[in-house]
Structure 1
Amino acid sequence: MTHEGEGVGRADGFTLFVQGALPGERVKAKVLKVKKQYGYAKQLELLQSSPDRVDAPCPIYKQCGGCQLQHMGYDAQLRWKRQHVVDNLVRIGKLPVAGTMEQGGASSGERPAVIVHPTIGMDNPWRYRNKAQVPIGMAMASLEGGAGGGLIGGFYARGSHRIIDMDECLIQHEQNDEVVRRVKEIGKRLGITAYDEESGRGLLRHVVVRTGFISGEIMVVLVTNGRKIPHADQWIEGIREAIPGVTSIVQNINTRTTNVIFGDETRTLWGSDVIYDELDGIRFAISARSFYQVNPAQTVELYRKAVEYAGLTGSENVIDAYCGIGTISLFLARQAGQVYGVEIVPEAIEDAKRNAELNGIDNASFESGPAEVVIPRWRKEGIAADVIVVDPPRKGCDTALLETILAMKPERVVYVSCNPSTLARDLRVLEDGGYRTVEVQPVDMFPHTVHVESVALLVRKDM
């Protein structure tokens, strides 16, 4: 399988990518597109089935682009995700991995092989998402001036911007489904129009729902193409009546021609600016645009592993690059001497400061700016780091940040990653600069999708 979950098969030695096919299967497929060395095909008939194949429980799974692996048994998903991490470490990172043909590395016995643990999965890998981001469109009858119609909302079809309308998503918290359903109903009743990407007209672009798994608090965010909302009071009243648990109704204004969900301006229409939730006993204030992990149960597993890899005794200075709203920082602060968090988004830093205060944590400080600029300045100011923790976006660490880590020479580096390929690339840089990757723990944050989170431990080779 590819990293996007497509089956990789061969017909007369020619490579074809087939959506929905699993390793070990034989399929009859229609070739759709051919390039010089590979092509794409559509599965017509399953001739030999994999023992890992299961029936996908979602009725719109084949049309919807939200999940890619529902046709694969969960244990097999976990094994595949670990292998995906291993393959990237070996191929891109050129790292010796225990249990693989390449475990000896460049010269056998030169260094211990990297241990890649089995993926940490969920007991119940459904209904795990605390945040829904649903694009909104118009039903065809409305577009053609016919009867019926109204607002539709759901995930995009695979490889397109065509919305597959849905009332239920099996990886979303049930409350999120209910909120989206109600907002669509109220919008239809009030004659609210949906944004049209081609014309740039229409009002409602996305409905974003955040649910606190522990607190039960709900935030509804209406992302609109303009500030003015027709019948705003009726809409707010309708949402409050239909959704008793709602504590925050927020508008985000995005008038740009872009696929990015949020615009720069956010205003609270009713209730609080934030909702609250907990991770492992730490309370967090979450605003409309805060980055907050979508799977709370697995986030606790991931961050506990990051703290374990940090090897804290209570006296260490820890730098948390890409700290966001302070989630990992506050986990670390419970066992560290002092934590310094840096994040490029100013609003996230304000949230981080508020979250530290909310939990009575006074050994964590936060600063806004690029990590590769702020951390070298801290170094000049005499701040040394025993441990540096990074949790970068999918593109991985900035080159200047990697150079800064190598210059600061912390005893340990803990790398939290949502992208195995950029993880492997950055581990190679750190290895060449004097570090050794000891172990990697994959964590299944997004069951039934191709995404896998990992946390890696590196130590200085001279220690």
Structure 2
Amino acid sequence: MGGRRGRRLPRAPVEIGIDRLSHEGRGIGRHEDRTAFIQGALPGETVSAEIRRRRRRQEEGQALEVVGSVSADRVEPPCAHFGVCGGCSLQHMDPAAQVRHKADALAELLAHVGGVSPDHWLAPLTGPTAGYRRRARLGVKYVPRKGDRVLVGFRERFSPFVADIDSCHVLDARVGALLPALAALVRGLSIPDRIAQIEVAAGDEDVGLVFRNLRPLAPADREALIEFGTRHGLLLFEQPGNESTVAPLGHETMRLHYRLPDFDLDFAFAPTDFTQVNAAINRQMVNQAVDLLDAEPASRVLDLFCGLGNFTLPLARQAAEVIGLEGAESLVERGRENALGNGIDNARFAAADLTALEPTAASLGGPVDRVLLDPPRSGALEVLPSIGRLQPERIVYVSCGPSTLARDAGQLVHEHGYRLAAAGIMDMFPHTGHAEAMALFTR
């Protein structure tokens, strides 16, 4: 019983001194012999905090105000909904300080998890901190007890509920100001309680919104959605089932587009295809990866987790051949479509189970001297032994999970004879604790 009472949440705010930041950007301090992770707090500050969750050895909370001196890195959050909406976690921190923190976290992970350090640190890749987010899944919630209201947005912090917000600072500006209009649109449908989410997919020219409808749309619903799309210059889609059921509303367009102008490439993608969230960072990221891989006219390149060819096709502009392997058949089809559309005939795509892949020179049609890895957050541990046997001269690893990059870097260096030649972060998600990274390994 004493243990249960000890885990009861304090009724009043508590004061906590903050010593450092966690990798994801929460302030870390001590309170009643527990490690306290406090959102909205910065190192060197003492904050008054509300404790929201408590376990035996740690607790989580939200900073309410700074008591005493304020960190030099603290700024006024640019969004009025910061602290309620869970879409961002670091708007109280100067963007340059956010980047420094993410770079320090990568260095710590590489050293402590992988036991490695790069010969050279790459300059961080940075871009706009507002309106950058081209992909998002917005929650939709019908609340009949509050005057038949509909909420559209991200989830609240510390809560599964949809936050009550009227704009989004980080969403593509073509969508970020439309949240109240989208809520009014859903509220006027015959099935406001059966729209589960709205998926945002923005290209360079057009923005697609995919409405996940759990019941069929009535004719009047279709008319309302079509009129909304026309009025706001958006491409609307319905999705009554899995991704194969996505269908356009009031138009015949099934592809959005983005360009990589430095390679004279145009990429077509379906609204539910995976594409990079941040277009400005993606362009820098592709340029840097191609430069680091340093493919020559005779090079054969293996691109693992290749998606729709975001790296495959730029590399094909330099190499003799690029082989793109991807787990999702739909993205393999898109990669082939994009190669054809851009007149590229030296890139080939194939579907493969990348968790059980054992590529050999024979299965790849000959040796490869370059490998590009762009795995999911879980990393690329399963394919590292096969890559080691292929013995490419250079490996560029693009990571959306620095902790698994650090783990895999340790394997490549300590088990497979590679050197960590360079590494650096990419600020793909400003104002959040999420960091992405890139590393170059050489034999």
- TM-score of the superposition, structure 2-length normalised? 0.88
Q: Shift of residue 325 of structure 1? A: 0.7
Q: Shift of residue 273 of structure 1? A: 1.1
The one-letter code sitting in structure 1 at the alignment partner of 2:428 is M
For each residue in 1:263-304, what CA deviation from the matched residue of structure 2 results, as whole angstroms up to 9, or x when unmatched? 553233332111122123310111022111011111011111
Match of 1:208 in 2: 199
Matches within 5 A, 1:335-354: 335-354=318-337
Matches within 5 A, 1:54-65: 54-65=75-86
The reply on whether 1:116 has 2:121 as its aligned counterpart is: yes
Matches within 5 A, 1:252-331: 252-254=239-241, 263=243, 265-269=245-249, 270-280=251-261, 281-331=264-314
Q: Shift of residue 341 of structure 1? A: 0.3
In structure 1, how many angstroms separate the alpha carbons of the residues matched to 2:222 and 2:33? 64
Instruction: Name the SS of the counterpart of 1:153 in structure 2.
Output: strand
The structure 2 residue matched to 1:26, chosen from 46, 56, 75, is 46
- Aligned partners of 1:253 and 1:265 also within 8 Å: yes
> More displaced, 371-380 or 19-28?
371-380
Match of 2:22 in 1: 2
The reply on whether 1:250 has 2:249 as its aligned counterpart is: no
Match of 2:404 in 1: 422
The one-letter code sitting in structure 1 at the alignment partner of 2:260 is L
The one-letter code sitting in structure 1 at the alignment partner of 2:227 is G
After superposition, the Cα gap between the structure-2 partners of 1:33 and 1:291, relative to the gap in structure 1 and judged at 3 Å, is closer
After superposition, the Cα gap between the structure-2 partners of 1:373 and 1:129, relative to the gap in structure 1 and judged at 3 Å, is same
For each residue in 1:423-442, what CA deviation from the matched residue of structure 2 results, as whole angstroms up to 9, or x when unmatched? 00011111121111111021
Match of 2:8 in 1: none
Q: Shift of residue 81 of structure 1? A: 0.7
In structure 1, how many angstroms separate the alpha carbons of the residues matched to 2:386 and 2:210? 38
Match of 1:103 in 2: none
In structure 2, how many angstroms separate the alpha carbons of the residues matched to 1:253 and 1:233? 13
The structure 1 residue matched to 2:58, chosen from 38, 49, 60, is 38
Q: Shift of residue 191 of structure 1? A: 3.5
After superposition, the Cα gap between the structure-2 partners of 1:32 and 1:138, relative to the gap in structure 1 and judged at 3 Å, is closer
The one-letter code sitting in structure 2 at the alignment partner of 1:161 is P
> More displaced, 438-447 or 172-181?
172-181
Matches within 5 A, 1:141-152: 142=144, 144=145, 148-152=147-151
The one-letter code sitting in structure 1 at the alignment partner of 2:385 is E
In structure 1, how many angstroms separate the alpha carbons of the residues matched to 2:418 and 2:313? 26
- Aligned partners of 1:330 and 1:364 also within 8 Å: yes
Matches within 5 A, 1:15-414: 15-29=35-49, 34-46=54-66, 47-95=68-116, 97=117, 113-122=118-127, 124-139=128-143, 142=144, 144=145, 148-178=147-177, 180-194=179-193, 203-213=194-204, 216-229=205-218, 231-243=220-232, 245-246=233-234, 248-254=235-241, 263=243, 265-269=245-249, 270-280=251-261, 281-371=264-354, 376=359, 379-380=362-363, 382-399=365-382, 401-414=383-396
In structure 1, how many angstroms separate the alpha carbons of the residues matched to 2:150 and 2:177? 15
Across the aligned residues of Structure 1 and Structure 2, the Cα RMSD in angstroms comes to: 2.2
- Alignment length (residue pairs): 418
For each residue in 1:122-180, what CA deviation from the matched residue of structure 2 results, as whole angstroms up to 9, or x when unmatched? 2x3211112232110013xx2x3x6x423220110113210013231111111113555
In structure 2, how many angstroms separate the alpha carbons of the residues matched to 1:326 and 1:58? 35
Instruction: Name the SS of the counterpart of 1:92 in structure 2.
Output: helix
Instruction: Name the SS of the counterpart of 1:27 in structure 2.
Output: strand
Identical aligned residues as a percent: 32
* Structure 2 residue runs without a partner (length 5+): 1-20
Q: Shift of residue 115 of structure 1? A: 2.6
After superposition, the Cα gap between the structure-2 partners of 1:315 and 1:420, relative to the gap in structure 1 and judged at 3 Å, is same
The one-letter code sitting in structure 1 at the alignment partner of 2:409 is L
In structure 2, how many angstroms separate the alpha carbons of the residues matched to 1:27 and 1:217? 44
The one-letter code sitting in structure 2 at the alignment partner of 1:212 is G
The one-letter code sitting in structure 2 at the alignment partner of 1:307 is V
- Aligned partners of 1:182 and 1:242 also within 8 Å: no
- Aligned partners of 1:221 and 1:288 also within 8 Å: yes
After superposition, the Cα gap between the structure-2 partners of 1:219 and 1:407, relative to the gap in structure 1 and judged at 3 Å, is same
* Structure 1 residue runs without a partner (length 5+): 98-112, 195-202, 255-261
The one-letter code sitting in structure 2 at the alignment partner of 1:274 is R
Q: Shift of residue 372 of structure 1? A: 5.2
In structure 2, how many angstroms separate the alpha carbons of the residues matched to 1:373 and 1:135? 35
- Aligned partners of 1:204 and 1:225 also within 8 Å: yes
For each residue in 1:338-369, what CA deviation from the matched residue of structure 2 results, as whole angstroms up to 9, or x when unmatched? 10001111111111111111111111110012
In structure 2, how many angstroms separate the alpha carbons of the residues matched to 1:170 and 1:341? 36
In structure 1, how many angstroms separate the alpha carbons of the residues matched to 2:22 and 2:380? 24
- TM-score of the superposition, structure 1-length normalised? 0.85
For each residue in 1:89-147, what CA deviation from the matched residue of structure 2 results, as whole angstroms up to 9, or x when unmatched? 0110111x3xxxxxxxxxxxxxxx5333342222x3211112232110013xx2x3x6x
